[in-house]
A and B are shown apart, each in its own frame.
Chain A
Amino acid sequence: MIYQTDMYEGVLAETITMTGANGDQINAYFARPLGPGPFPAMVLAHHMPGWDEWYREATFRFAHHGYATLSPNLYFRAGHGTPEDVAAKVRADGGLQDDQAVGDLAGAMHYLRALPYVNGKVGVFGTCSGGRHAYLTACRAPGFNAIVDCWGGGVVMGKDQLSANSPVAPIEYTKDLACPVLGLFGEEDGHPTPEQVKQHEAELKKHDKNYEFHMYPEAGHGFFYYHRPMYRQAQAVDGWQKIFAFLEKYLSISA
């Protein structure tokens, strides 16, 4: 629904505790529209630079658009400090374990679905490594109704890139994906390259999945990040419009 100036609106946003992978209690940023609902819900998988201000703003943004939205602190186990300091520690340790990220994001889905004002539909969104984790989770954890992968690099991985943290390339799980996927990518991105996006798309097509991929010209990695030089205004505006149109289609009560 397009906002009109005589409408009431309100959002409650706060830090909460939720159950993540292995039953661990982790913190998460939760934002939801005020009112009885029912609201669709979104899980946000933050990017490599961490559980940072951009992600808390994105959490609020989805709530502002009508989604009960939960962004788990995927770096919780690395300890506490500024988001950058914590992310630097995770970077030094070679990134997250895929299994742990999947467990945390699936935990967020279960948290949301149990809420009385959620309509039962839950999507997952992520950018950069978060796009990769979102895709991996949508494939491996049953129950998501839509996934938005923004420039998730490392969905396609060579054998030399596999590690103890990431033992299987996410593309290998494509056959198990049970929900529609929206992918937004930039032509000038090196991670993923346009060629890797084509490989990903071919795998989705091969398994007859419901997908919608958009490749933006004159955009590279992270073109939504208004605080970074890679920001591309027109592509970002169009990308956000595509995201909310996609989610309206698959997560609304009538979907």
Chain B
Amino acid sequence: MCTMIVEKVKVDGSGKGVSGWFALQQANVSYDHPFDAPLEHALNIDFVNESRGPSARVAVELSERAARELVRTILSVLDKAEAGGHLA
């Protein structure tokens, strides 16, 4: 059954959903049942814009290992960008 483990974070940027690109407002991060990934529970990220309704969603469902590796990779890339003087 559902863990109900979820956190929301405001984000800036764009996401590409089924109707094309849209402005993102928020990311909902949960560890709960995925809809598609062949796992009982997954690290799910829904990038959404609630003002556009439930369909404004870009979803990923990751294994725990993949999620942790993604976090490390994002931070690594940002560190390199910072070291290169690319962050304003």
Contact = CB atoms under 8 A, between A and B. Distances in A.
Given A91-B28, A91-B32, A228-B38, A81 B55 contact: yes
A132 B30 CA distance: 20
A40 B30 CA distance: 39
26 contacts: A79-B53, A80-B54, A81-B53, A81-B57, A82-B54, A84-B35, A84-B59, A85-B57, A86-B54, A88-B28, A88-B48, A89-B48, A89-B54, A91-B4, A95-B2, A95-B4, A128-B33, A129-B1, A132-B1, A152-B1, A154-B2, A190-B40, A192-B1, A228-B38, A229-B38, A229-B39
A49 interface: yes
Contacts of B48: 88-89, 92
Contact-residue bracket for chain A: 35 or more
B35 A92 contact: no
A157 B38 CA distance: 27
Interface of B: 1-4, 6, 8, 28, 30, 32-33, 35, 38-40, 44, 46, 48, 50, 53-55, 57, 59
B53 A80 contact: yes
A191 B3 contact: yes
Given A94-B4, A129-B2, A220-B40, A85 B32 contact: no
Contacts of A94: 4, 6
